[in-house]
Amino acid sequence: MWTSALETIRRAEMVAAGTLLCVIVALVVVASIGRYFGSPVIWAIEVTQAAYVWLCVFAADLTLKKAGHFSVDMLANFLPAGARRLLEVVNVLLAGAMIAALVYYGYLFAKVTGMRPLPITGVTSAVATAALPVGFALLLITLIDHLMKRLRGEDIRPAGDEAREVM
């Protein structure tokens, strides 16, 4: 059940990230063409910025899922397998504690700044700032999945070069 729910979340993230990327590119092209012909689409920058925030948090989680974030494991590779596994579990627990705090503070930030409307569209800024607690919650879910896999002794890294291709 956990795996199927997680895969559903991942598929939704991929669709959302791909859609947002297309929307961002389309808005930048339309705004550029409009500016060139003297009819700028002034709201495009605001919408693009909000979409970019969401795209970044989805991409961060999808990258974490494939263990694609930068890490230095030179010293850890010298440890025996059991000690390395313990170190990986401790790292996930520490990262999870930090991300749990970021979920909380991201929520507070979105709550405080969400009352302010965006200057051009007039839409609440919560449209953009809500990406922080949502994105951090997605990262926390991924870390919980990584912790469960590590405790079972499974490797979280995809085989081959798959970790390099996120989207």
Name the region of 122 (left: φ>0; alpha: ψ -120 to 50; beta: rest).
left
Higher per-residue pLDDT: 33 or 3: 33
Distance CA 134, CA 74 (A): 33
Q: Is residue 127 a contact partner of residue 118, using CB atoms and an 8 Å limit?
A: yes
Q: Which helix (H) or strand (E) holds 40?
A: none
Distance CA 98, CA 71 (A): 17
Distance CA 126, CA 136 (A): 15
The fraction of the chain above a pLDDT of 90, given in percent, is 57
pLDDT of residue 70: 73
Question: Tens of pLDDT along 54-96?
Answer: 999 999 999 998 887 777 777 888 888 888 888 888 989 999 9
pLDDT of residue 165: 52
**pTM, 2 dp:** 0.84
Residue 164 has pLDDT above 70, yes or no: no
Burial 83-107 (b: 16+ CB within 10 A, else e): eeeeebeebbeebbeebeebbeebb
**Cα angle: 127, vertex 101, 133; to 5 degrees:** 15
- Residue 65 corresponds to which tokens in the numbers above? 């899922």
User: Residue ranges per domain, the chain?
Assistant: 2-156
DSSP class of 156: -
Helix (H, G, I), strand (E, B) or coil at 2: helix
Q: Is residue 44 a contact partner of residue 121, using CB atoms and an 8 Å limit?
A: no
Cβ burial, residue 146 (10 Å; 0-12/13-18/19+): buried
DSSP class of 118: P
DSSP characters over 66-78: TT-S----TTGGG
Residue 166 has pLDDT above 80, yes or no: no
Residue 41 has pLDDT above 70, yes or no: yes
- Residue 141: pLDDT band by 50, 70, 90 thresholds? very high
Higher per-residue pLDDT: 30 or 88: 30
